[in-house]
Amino acid sequence: MKQLSPLERAVEYIEEHLDEEIGLSDVSRETGYSYCHMTRLFSAVLGESVGRYINRRRLYNASQKLLHTDRRILDIALDCGFESSEAFSRAFKAVFGSSPAEYRKAGLDLVVYAKRELAPKDVRHIANNISHAPEILYLEETKIAGLRATTSLSDNRLPELWDRFLRYYQDVYAFTGTGYGICETQPTIYSKDGDVRFLAMVGSPVQNFDGLPPALARKTLSGGRYAVFTHRGTFANLFKTYQYIFGTWLPMAKEELDDREDFEVYERKVRSFDDPDNEVKIHIPIK
């Protein structure tokens, strides 16, 4: 059995005691690290303090209870460590942008800003395979030709879409040797079990759309500012990288999302889904 790092032990301890009154002193004592060292370690890798992590994890658990149970908001607040429904409402609105009552009425499980449970393997991925501080770039407008399909978080159809694109339109890809994966967020459908369905497109950049095969979809990516993160290793962890970006980096960053689509750029040839040498640049649009 792999020995857990201090940070992995800290996260595991927090998850096992979320319903109890715990704080930085308890986490430090469990890991054997001082206040100072644990604060620096936690903030450097996970992008937030121990206290903020605990608070947002409790709020996420509360959001699930609001959606999937009929319990009173006051009872949920007390279960999650808040002394009153008013304190709970203030904290909830600060993270989710709506009151607990409004959130329950809307019936949507918001992906952005949610702090889902982290397992030790998730911590290792964040620590070793994600660029924690993005590169901020201004990109010009880019024309993409490729294939489009509906996919979801639970049923990822992108690998088969890439396979079809490369099999039938290798000449388009060969022009630049660079692949683009685009999340077309409108419309996005959220299911009650937390799954998300959306349109996606894969393809390669082209100078113009003249003379392309009719079956190819066409899209123009708007220019502007982007925060660019690097994901390394198996693509099975790609969703965890997005959870880090939207659940940890974005709430702490002094940046505001723009309404352009985010997209992925593959500059290296992908040999297999689980290749440890995989690398993809994730572009998040910001104002």
List, in order, residues 6 or more apart from 156 with CB less than 8 Å away: none
Per-residue confidence (pLDDT) for residue 5, from 0 to 100:
73
The pTM score is 0.60
Per-residue confidence (pLDDT) for residue 115, from 0 to 100:
65
Per-residue confidence (pLDDT) for residue 1, from 0 to 100:
43
Angstrom distance (rounded) from CA 102 to CA 113: 17
Angstrom distance (rounded) from CA 284 to CA 87: 33
Q: Are 260 and 216 in contact (CB under 8 A)?
A: no
Domain boundaries, the chain: 6-129, 135-286
Give DSSP secondary structure letters for 140-157. --EEEEEEEEEEESSS--
pLDDT in 10s for each residue of the chain, 287 residues? 455 677 788 888 988 888 788 888 888 888 877 665 677 677 767 777 788 888 888 888 888 888 888 999 999 988 888 888 888 898 888 888 888 988 888 876 664 555 666 777 777 777 777 777 889 999 999 999 999 988 765 667 778 888 888 888 888 777 677 889 887 755 555 454 445 567 888 999 999 999 888 989 999 999 999 999 999 888 878 877 877 787 678 767 778 878 788 899 998 777 777 788 888 999 988 88
Q: Domain spanning 135-286: which CATH class is it, in words?
A: alpha beta
Per-residue confidence (pLDDT) for residue 193, from 0 to 100:
47
Per-residue confidence (pLDDT) for residue 80, from 0 to 100:
84
Residues in a beta bridge with 152: 197
Per-residue confidence (pLDDT) for residue 218, from 0 to 100:
93
Per-residue confidence (pLDDT) for residue 44, from 0 to 100:
62
For 257-261, the CB contacts below 8 A with 24+ separation are 257/284, 257/285, 257/286, 257/287, 258/224, 258/225, 258/285, 258/286, 258/287, 259/285, 260/221, 260/222, 260/224, 260/285, 261/182, 261/183, 261/184, 261/185, 261/221, 261/285
Angstrom distance (rounded) from CA 185 to CA 198: 6
CATH, domain range 6-129: 1.10.10.60
What Cα–Cα distance (Å) separates residue 129 from each residue in 45, 59, 65, 186, 243? 11, 27, 32, 29, 13
